[in-house]
Every structure is written in C-alpha cells, then in structure tokens.
Amino acid sequence: IFDRIEALRQAGLTFLIVEHRLEILFNYVDSVYVMHLGEVIAHGTPADIQQNAQVREVYFGE
C-alpha cells in the first residue's frame, strides 16, 4: 500500500490517511495533523511532529 501512497503523492494528489501508528507514515507524507481525544494537538511536517513534545508524550510514551 505504501508504494501506491508514494505514487499518488508524486502525482500531486492530496489525500487523507487516518493511522494510529504515526511513525510508519513519516516517510510518505508532507504534512501531518495529530489528534488526541478529538482535538488537533499538532500540525506540521513529519520532522516537526517528531520533535513535538506533546506528540512524543501522547504517542511515543516519552
């Protein structure tokens, strides 16, 4: 499925992926919105999200 996601991205298409395991998407997306308890807690590039303290605590237990 990730080969298809990458092909769609390279074709310039925009799409929404809902996934709980954020780390598997980081290599395939340009922008990430992170939700927790029904609220957006972060938005940015995969690099931004990986550095976000609140996201790291909620999703990665750090």
pLDDT at position 24: 86
- The number of distinct structural domains making up the chain is 1
Question: Could you identify the residue written with the tokens 């997306």?
Answer: 29
**pTM for this predicted structure:** 0.78
Q: Exposed, middle or buried, 49 (CB in 10 Å: 0-12/13-18/19+)? A: buried
Residue 41 — very low, low, confident or very high, per pLDDT cuts 50/70/90?
very high
Question: What domain range includes position 29?
Answer: 2-60
pLDDT higher than threshold 90 for residue 3: no
